[in-house]
Structure 1
Amino acid sequence: MSGAASLPLVAVAHGSRDPRSSACVRELTRTVRTAAPDIEVRTAFLDLSEPKVTDVLAGLHAEGHEGAVVVPLLLGSAFHARVDLPALVEQVTATAPRFRVSVSDVLGIDQGLEEVAIDRLAETGTDLTDPGLGVVLAAVGSSNSAANDAVVRLARRWQARHSVAGVAPAFASTSPGVPAAIARLRARGARRFAVASWFLAPGLLPDRIAALAGDVDPRIPIAAPLGAEPRVADLVLRRYHQVTSSAVRTA
């Protein structure tokens, strides 16, 4: 086996105690595999779900692969991307020094993903030309302010593009939360509300967002997560090819 283009793609999600989350990730990797049948595609998780990324990488090494490209299925570059994942990769490469593992950029804020999120919101019947509408852009949230700031900038971009009263970020695991975001939108003149989802898969945190929105008004439409969508799979492959094409250029 030779050449960077032949390296397996290991799609690594965070993992969740909610089985809907891992099922969605597996469906996404099947979509990636269908779009690129010439690439070996494996599913892995950082924690809480199986198989663990260390086991998948060790298994690829045992099968005789020269290396792998890890694509983090993460929408922000925070602790899991900057610390957890590199440490887990190092666990494997420390015992198999000739096994080359490259880690791509996270999925991040990408135009294709933005379009998917907007489509998910539109599927709820939300009218993004309604000047009385306030949109809550819900995301996981992080202790890393830069990761949260990226969502804040995304909310500002949506507000500039759409004829609504406002778009405000809200986070499941840090502040501002959903009630604070809705209060901010009310102050901007919003009288109707909808929640957009900046989550990859269903799970406990999206459910928390939905419950908090429902406490304010049970009629608030809640968009579905991005899910196993071909445009998401396309971005996974673009992240993979960014790594493999760079390896070819520097070889």
Structure 2
Amino acid sequence: MDSQLSPASGRPALVVVAHGSRDPRALATVRALLDRVRELRPGLPVHLGHIELNAPLLPDTLAALGDREAVLVPLLLSRGYHVKQDIPEMAAAHPARTRVAAPLGPHPLLADTLHTRLTEAGWRAPRTEAERRGSAVVLAAAGSRDPESATDTGRTAALLAARLGVPVVPAYASAATPTVESAVRSLRARGRHRTAVASYFTAPGRFATECAKAAPDIASDPLGAHPLMAELLLHRYDEATTRVPTKPALAAAP
């Protein structure tokens, strides 16, 4: 089930808004993440809605909620068209008071999750100064034509660089440059031969797979259902509940 509706709860429902994917692993990952959210916040009504490709679609989820107040938390990592247009427009058709939370990124919890996934894939901290000078990470993201999306990804890269102590270069699967391949080539030309690819995707899918194939050595798994991702979803929910709801929702939180 995608929800655990508690009639006694007066809190707004949490609606996690995923993009949707043709890869069945993506839906399984999102469902596992929602289960973690429910474990952390028992009694909170937690629902799932997709922008496209998978059921339930967000408009259907909102229709099923009826007049119940809801907070929509995008399972997206930066600002862009979906956060600024698609989700608010779908929310505007919902008759109840609806709030749209900020996207997940940038946030230190994402850098912590990325570091964990890299470590799981075999990354280790440089042991010498020479090793540090020869190391780098490519942060592989989906990409967007919206410049604010690149800004947000760059901020996450900076957070991860501070965590790792080596340069972290954003790269993209589509709609933006550089590509992962060109970022790796550029780093190697600068003497960074120990280069890993950090998968900055919420779940497995075509983009994550393609970016991993471009890794010269280590490629981490997507963020997935890591416990810190569940914490971050609830953090965005709590942020949004402190704001006065609008009817209809017009924009995501800055």
Letter in 1 for 2:147: S
Pick from 172, 183, 186 the counterpart of residue 184 of structure 1: 186
Contact residue 106 and residue 155 of structure 2 kept, 8 A: no
The answer for the alignment partner of 1:175 in structure 2 is 177
Cα distance in 1 for residues equivalent to 2:163 and 2:229: 22
> Which residue does the alignment assign to 1:77?
79
State the distance in 2 between where 1:153 and 1:67 align: 32
Q: TM-score, length-normalised on structure 2?
A: 0.85
Amino acid at match of 2:65: L
- 2:114 alignment partner, one of 105, 117, 120: 117
Deviation at 1:190, TM superposition (A): 1.0
Instruction: Quote the residue 1:10 is aligned against.
Output: 15
| Residue-by-residue CA offset, 1:180-216 (whole Å, 9 max, x unaligned) | 1012211321122211111111111101111233xxx
**CA 225–103 in structure 1, closer or farther in 2 if over 3 Å, else same:** same
What's the counterpart of residue 21 of structure 1? 26
Superposed CA offset, 1:79-112 (max 9, x none): 000011111112x33xx3xx11111111111111
**1:89-238 alignment runs, 5 A limit:** 89-90=91-92, 92-93=93-94, 96=95, 99-129=96-126, 130-131=131-132, 132-164=134-166, 166-173=167-174, 174-213=176-215, 217=216, 220-238=217-235
Q: How far off its partner does 1:4 sit? A: 9.6
- 2:212/2:219 contact within 8 Å kept: yes
1:138 Cα deviation (Å)?
0.7
Query: Aligned partners of 2:8, 2:188: CA distance in 1, in Å?
Result: 56
Under a length normalisation based on structure 1, what TM-score does the superposition of the two structures give?
0.86
Q: 2-side partners of 1:223 and 1:49: how far apart? A: 25
The CA RMSD over aligned residues, in Å, is 2.1
**Deviation of 1:157 (Å):** 4.3
Does the CA contact (< 8 Å) of 1:4 and 1:244 recur in 2? no
Give the distance between the partners of 2:19 and 2:182, measured in 1 at CA. 27
- The percent of aligned pairs where both chains have the same amino acid is 39
Unaligned runs of 5+ in 2: 1-5, 246-254
Matches of 1:36 and 1:160, distance apart in 2: 31
Contact 1:135 1:194 in 2 (8 A): yes
Q: Check 1:229–1:176 CA distance in 2 against 1; reply closer, same or farther (3 A cut).
A: same
Query: Quick check: 2:141–2:172 contact (8 Å CA) kept in 1?
Result: yes
Consecutive unaligned residues in structure 1, runs of 5 or more: none
From 35, 42, 49, the counterpart of 1:37: 42
Q: Secondary structure at the match of 2:125?
A: coil
Deviation at 1:3, TM superposition (A): 11
Name the CA shift for 1:156/1:237 in 2 (closer, same or farther; >3 Å): closer
| Residues 15, 48 of structure 1: 8 Å contact kept | yes
Query: 1:87 maps to what in 2?
Result: 89
Report the number of matched residues.
Answer: 234
Structure 1 residues 179 and 43, CA gap change in structure 2 (3 angstroms) = same
Higher share of residues assigned helix: 1
